[in-house]
Structure 1
């Protein structure tokens, strides 16, 4: 049993590296943006495209990864994501022109799109039922670690660039003269580790059994769980399976209407609560508050630490307290903190420390609720035969919403002002609270097959 626990933890850590790269690639742009803006004299539209180009790639990655993972398996898609992460990090660091960097960012986005879809899906299928929420939340923790690494490396490279003697060599070019290239290059190391680690993880046993590879699936289940848990999983998977392939049409079945609505709305709210507006435009917002560029980078590190530390609350409580209570508490706190932040900007001349506290409170609220629970809930509410496609559609909504937020935030900051921008995001936190209160049942401790039966039974009872 101890050996199986160690093995599944190793699998979880390797898979979660996909989340770390997701967080890093999304957050690194916050440090790169002001430096590239100075060097290339970017227009507001070009700044927006630099931010949202990766999000276009995310949409592309999600669009094909769901159906491909249902056909080819989860592991092959993760390997493809790791390769894309590595190539894009090198491209952003070494290619010369703005246009080439945009193409590299799109490649990074495709990798992020695949990882954001397949990693939580893979973790939900390989984790024991009583630990599933915790294991999928490890993915969100890895995302926050990736964000923090991006902030730390951006700040560290910015400081060290001042002390590098500029010579006509590659090192000085990447880490001194054009330090933003070094910021991108840091991502190549975790991408390489992710790629190597994937050779040591198995395919999803549920996918194997679902696709007629029963013996392989059983061997993996016996390796990652106790004999009793393995037998229960095999029986329930076989009962629900019937070796059928799913299609998007299955999502329109009456029993799928409520999970589909939840699967679409939760990722939408996760973006329109304003999290990535702070990640992408953090230095810009803080500079507007009278905080210098160097100090705004330090402040973002504080944001990153808060985001990471409070994710541990979700890991600690998601399988004890449950998904629904955590989400309700988190959205209520997020709405309050965003309202307060808006008030501070509206009043003007408010000390920067109050703004930092308010934004940190929002990030903490997001980190233990809205952030991880969208992945936990979306990865467990759909049947196995359609889960890859359904989660792909769910994550697609997240990235489309993210791209929209990336574009409209700059516009809102320049037109309606920072205060009203934060109030705009607070409104969606309130709507998210009401939606979860009305629609989300508690799923903690239930196997994926039990959740599938719940939707079917509820539909039968309503007839």
Structure 2
């Protein structure tokens, strides 16, 4: 931890632009968290049944699928910076539209537009940060995005708590979401272009000027030469090439991480944690209050992940974290299956906290970090967009069908299903996911595409320990 803090302190420029770009994560985090509390009141005010509630939650996710694809293409065409700025503008307009909605149809439409902005930001923020950051601190720095997501969720829970007993409070809950969008728009006006995007456009002098602010002159030149070498060996790839045999191993890892991150049920916990807590007998107000514990835990353990990713490694945290959330899901299944509601109602909250803590140190940050590391520069924007689309599609299906799954097979079977899928995820991580710690993006590309191992890698391909 200390080594990460020391190294990060030597790069104030990288830290500043990373935190500003990571405000894009705040958009997703706030809107994810706020709907969990607002939904308890929307269903009364607008007369939303289970199906309408599912669409209110899932409308954002449908928009995010399209937003991720559009964001990936825009990131390559007009730059990562301008894509994030446009996403912020769209988000502000849609958040205000959601707050003013008079029918469930209007609310769903506004949340679809919100999803466009959230999906674009989710695809572009990790890409932008990773392309600015030295390998030694890239794990922690790219994870600022996930940290901002968790902070956004916690802020949303606090807003839900503060407004839980006010008339039309859900409108204020949704409308306040415009604020992080405004901040993102302002922030993007002051950050530089990505050096790798500048190199793709043949603007080497500008790329060197950006890199020189976070590296020494010799280190900046060496990195530019490495980027140039990779670009000279690659032609422009379309989606057909992305799905071709050379890039397929990378894509399998990226899509696998994208889908597994969602099918373990994380967003059922985020979107529906107050709803789950009402299953234990709490009323809406008390459930929202207890959900604050989940939000605080999410932030605290994401900070732990930021400090450990460049020390312990991505793969280790991924496996350990997923094992922990599997235990939590089994505990929830036992809670509902054995009727502990009356004898030990606190078990449900403990299980939710364990689940979110385990997710926050593993699947939460590692998925977004690794998809920003493993793909070639020439297709990185499109590849991250494809992985983001799979992530949002999986998110949609899991979130949309959660309440319906509960009705169809019951609460115990639903959580046992998620636990089983988490075990499948662990097997996949052990078999297919590499360690990318302490390597440049170009070294990772060469190794995963079947080229020479990264310099300094051991016989198994693992990187030397970070110092």
Deviates more, 1:416-425 or 1:146-155: 416-425
Matching residue of 1:169: none
Partners of 2:63 and 2:113 within 8 A in 1: yes
Provide the rounded CA distance (Å) in 2 between the counterparts of 1:211 and 1:199. 20
Residue 360 of structure 1 deviates from its aligned partner by 0.5
Matching residue of 1:252: 243
Counterpart selection for 1:270 from 261, 270, 273: 261
Matching residue of 1:414: 407
Deviates more, 1:245-254 or 1:332-341: 245-254
Provide the rounded CA distance (Å) in 2 between the counterparts of 1:365 and 1:95. 36
Matching residue of 1:172: none
Matching residue of 2:463: none
Matching residue of 1:324: 315
Matching residue of 1:295: 286
Residue 215 of structure 1 deviates from its aligned partner by 1.4
Matching residue of 2:358: 365
Counterpart selection for 1:392 from 385, 389, 406: 385
Q: Does 1:424 align with 2:411?
A: no
Matching residue of 1:457: 450
Partners of 1:35 and 1:180 within 8 A in 2: yes
Deviates more, 1:450-459 or 1:180-189: 450-459
Residue 95 of structure 1 deviates from its aligned partner by 3.5
Residue aligned with 2:384, SS: helix
RMSD of equivalent CA atoms:
1.7
Counterpart selection for 2:139 from 133, 136, 140: 133
Residue aligned with 2:11, SS: helix
Partners of 1:210 and 1:244 within 8 A in 2: no
Residue 249 of structure 1 deviates from its aligned partner by 2.1
Residue 181 of structure 1 deviates from its aligned partner by 0.4
Residue aligned with 1:158, SS: coil
Q: Which runs of 5+ in 2 are unaligned?
A: 1-6, 454-467
Partners of 1:272 and 1:428 within 8 A in 2: yes
Which structure has more helix as a fraction of its residues? 1
Partners of 1:254 and 1:459 within 8 A in 2: no
Matching residue of 2:190: 200
Residue 117 of structure 1 deviates from its aligned partner by 0.3
Deviates more, 1:348-357 or 1:376-385: 348-357
Deviations 1:181-226 (A, max 9, x none): 0001111122111111111101110011022111111111112322
Deviations 1:261-309 (A, max 9, x none): 0110111011111110111122221111112211110121100111111
TM-score normalised according to structure 1 size: 0.93
Aligned residue pairs, count: 444
TM-score normalised according to structure 2 size: 0.92
Residue pairs, 1:207-218, within 5 angstroms: 207-218=197-208
Q: Which runs of 5+ in 1 are unaligned?
A: 162-176
Provide the rounded CA distance (Å) in 2 between the counterparts of 1:32 and 1:78. 27
Matching residue of 2:3: none
Matching residue of 1:170: none
Residue 255 of structure 1 deviates from its aligned partner by 2.8
Residue aligned with 1:200, SS: coil
Deviates more, 1:60-69 or 1:355-364: 60-69
Counterpart selection for 2:214 from 193, 204, 224: 224
Q: 1:397 to 1:23 in 2, by over 3 A?
A: same
Matching residue of 1:381: 374
Residue 348 of structure 1 deviates from its aligned partner by 1.1
Q: 1:244 to 1:3 in 2, by over 3 A?
A: farther
Partners of 1:255 and 1:455 within 8 A in 2: no
Residue 244 of structure 1 deviates from its aligned partner by 4.2
Residue pairs, 1:8-23, within 5 angstroms: 8-23=14-29
Deviations 1:316-365 (A, max 9, x none): 11111111111111111111111111101111134221111111101100
Partners of 2:27 and 2:152 within 8 A in 1: yes
Deviates more, 1:90-99 or 1:233-242: 90-99
Matching residue of 2:327: 336
Counterpart selection for 1:142 from 145, 148, 160: 148
Provide the rounded CA distance (Å) in 2 between the counterparts of 1:95 and 1:292. 26
Provide the rounded CA distance (Å) in 1 between the counterparts of 2:205 and 2:416. 54
Residue aligned with 2:449, SS: helix
